[in-house]
Every structure is written in C-alpha cells, then in structure tokens.
Amino acid sequence: MQRYILLRILQSIISIFAVSIIIFMVGRVVGDPASALLPPEATLEEFDRVNAAWGLDKPLVVQYGKYIGNAFKGDFGESWKWQGYTAGGLIADRFPATAELAALALAMGLFVAIPLGVISSVRKDTPFDYLGKTVALIGQSVPAFWMGIVMIWLFAVELEWLPTSGRGGWKTYILPAVAMGWFQVAAFMRLIRSAMLDVLDSEYVKLARIKGVAEWKVVWKHCLRNAAIAPLTYFGIILGTLMAGSVAIETVFTWPGVGLLAVDAVRSRDYQVLQTVVIMFSAIYIAANLTVDVLYAYLDPRIRYQ
C-alpha cells in the first residue's frame, strides 16, 4: 500500500511538471509576449528593451528554468496587464469566489443525486425511475453555459426573481451554482443507480433481508456503502471538472472568479497569469484524483496494489 501511494505521488508530481512545460511553451509559441505589452507603433528599440527587462531575450530553456525556480518559492511572476499585481496575488484574490461556487455545485450534486439515484434503483421501472432517467439524460445533454443563459432569461429577465450576474447576496449564487452543478447531478445519479442495481441483487443483501433487517437499513447502510466505489472514483473527476468548467459559467454570469480571470488573461495575452491559472487548475485536478485513488484503495480491501 505504501509503495502504491508513493508511486501515485511521484506520478502526480511528474504530471504537474509536464503541464507546466506544455503551458509555458504554448504561451511562447503562439506569439511574441512583448507585443502584448507594447502598442502597435512601438519601435524595435522598445521591443528590445521590454524583452531584456522581462528576460524574454533569453533561450526558452533558461526562461523556463527561471520560471519554475521562482514558482517553487511561491513567485509566479508579475502580471503584464494588471501592473503592480503578481499572478499569484490575483489568483488568491479571485479563488474564494470560484471555490464557493464549486462547493455549492458539488453539494448540489451530492445531496440531490444520491437520494434520486438510490430511490430510482429501488423503484426500478416505475414512473419515478423513468422521471429520474429523463432528468439525468437532459442534465448530461445540455451544456452548462446554455442552461445558464436560459435560466438568466427565465428567472432574471422574465420573472425577475434573481439577479442576472455578479457576486453579492445569496441570490447571486443560485443561478451559477445550479447551472454548474446540474451536469454533476445527472452523472452522479446515473452512476449511483447503476451501482445500486448491481448491489441490490447480491447474495449478502438477500441474506440480510431473510434475517429480517429493516429495508431502510439494507438500502441506505449496506447497499449504498458498497455501491459508493464507482461514484467515489468519479468524484475526483468532478472536482477538476467544476474548476475547469467555472471558466464558461463565470463568463456567462460575470462571476469574479479565477475562470473569468483566465478569460481576461487570454484576451490581453497575459501569459504570466494564464500559466499560473492553468497550473493551479491542473494541480487541483491531480490532487483530487490522487486523494480518490488512495481512498479507493482503503475502501475496497479486495484490491491489492503491488
């Protein structure tokens, strides 16, 4: 077990390094960073001066070595668009807004999908089951940003129940959280229903019923616990999806989070901020999957990692 955990940690570190190399090189290949800092009428002397000031006149290997060395110290460079602000500082200011939205969407996925998935499996081929499968199909078919636009039109413009955008009172959280979390509700529900159907037909469940164990205890304690392995595996993917998916949702709702910051960085070609955002999203995604892998190994004792 310890060997498996150490191996997964090593793989995670290598993955983060690979992501940092890719995003660093892509940021330099798509264009000259100095052109984002200077007006179109800038002279060659001004370009040379900016390149020298930012170290852009050095070979890419030297630039990357300096960048990764500073990153280990927590210094991800200064923003090129927002003068006087560091890339890490901008992300630290925006991250709470993204984390709040992702947490609400995740809570919605868990507290709505688990009961629906369990009840749908217990009442298989009933109207409730058909309704649940329809909800899951729609949830996985409709893009989150499109659902967000429709909800803005319906609940904010037509009915005037909720605000259209921004981050303020509790009402501003409802539409973006629902738009982001609806897909996760559908995915979680289908996974839980499928896993529960397999567990409900197992021999130990039949034995528990023969012994007279209460039905609610059979379903919610014995069956759900053993059916949680597949949804738990998907949990790590969900965390990464919520963070990456925040880019579209935050743009639609003008939510002042890291996703909207990434869009602004792309528009202004602020490579320092964009690199840091991508590395942060990747680190969260990799860390979530690492945690799930370790929990999976402890949850299922039948699995032996060599």
Q: What is the tens place of the pLDDT at every residue in 53-92?
A: 667 777 778 888 888 888 888 888 788 777 778 888 888 8
Q: What percentage of residues in the chain have a pLDDT greater than 90?
A: 2
Average pLDDT rounded to a whole number, residues 32-43: 68
In a domain, 23, yes or no: no
Confidence of residue 153 (pLDDT cuts 50, 70, 90): very high
| Residue 207 pLDDT greater than 80, yes or no | no
Mean residue pLDDT of the chain comes to 80
Q: Which of 39-53, 92-106, 280-294 has the least mean pLDDT? A: 39-53
Q: What is the pLDDT of residue 142?
A: 82
CATH number of the domain that 178 lies in?
1.10.3720.10
Residue 13 lies in a domain: no
The number of distinct structural domains making up the chain is: 1
pLDDT, tens digit, 9 for 90 and up, residues 213-266 = 777 777 777 777 777 777 777 776 777 677 666 788 888 898 888 888 888 888
160 in the Ramachandran plot: left (φ > 0), alpha (ψ -120 to 50) or beta?
left
| Percent of the chain at pLDDT exceeding 70 | 87
- 258 located within any domain: yes
The reply to whether 105 falls in a domain is: yes
> Which of 49-58, 97-106, 153-162, 296-305 has the least mean pLDDT?
296-305
Question: Has residue 135 been placed in a domain?
Answer: yes
pLDDT at 38: 67
Average pLDDT over residues 6-25: 86
In a domain, residue 167? The reply is yes
pLDDT band at residue 138 using 50, 70 and 90 as cut-offs: confident
Question: 97, 167 in Cβ contact below 8 A?
Answer: yes
CB neighbour list of residue 206: distance below 8 Å, 6 or more residues apart: none
State how far Cα 255 lies from the chain centre.
16
Residue range(s) defining the domain that contains residue 265:
87-299
> Quick one: pLDDT band at residue 152, thresholds 50, 70, 90?
very high
Give 225-230's long-range contacts (Cβ < 8 A, gap of 24+): 226/199, 226/202, 227/192, 227/195, 227/196, 227/198, 227/199, 228/195, 228/299, 229/195, 229/296, 229/299, 229/300, 230/191, 230/194, 230/195
Q: What is the pLDDT of residue 292?
A: 76
pLDDT of residue 102 exceeding 70, the answer is yes
3-state SS record for the chain: CHHHHHHHHHHHHHHHHHHHHHHHHHHHHCCCCHHHHCCCCCCHHHHHHHHHHHCCCCCHHHHHHHHHHHHHCCCCCECCCCCCCEHHHHHHHHHHHHHHHHHHHHHHHHHHHHHHHHHHHHCCCCHHHHHHHHHHHHHHHCCHHHHHHHHHHHHHHHCCCCCCCCCCCCHHHHHHHHHHHHHHHHHHHHHHHHHHHHHHCCHHHHHHHHCCCCHHHHHHHHHHHHHCHHHHHHHHHHHHHHHHHHHHHHHHCCCCCHHHHHHHHHHHCCHHHHHHHHHHHHHHHHHHHHHHHHHHHHHCCCCCCC
Please indicate, yes or no, if residue 249 is contained in any of the structural domains. yes
How many CB atoms lie under 10 A from the CB of residue 191? 21
Does residue 242 lie within any of the structural domains?
yes
What is the C-alpha to C-alpha distance for residues 25 and 300, in angstroms, rounded to an integer? Answer: 41
Q: What is the per-residue pLDDT for 301?
A: 58
Lowest-pLDDT choice from 133-137, 153-157, 186-190, 296-300: 296-300
Residue 30 pLDDT: 62
Confidence of residue 44 (pLDDT cuts 50, 70, 90): confident
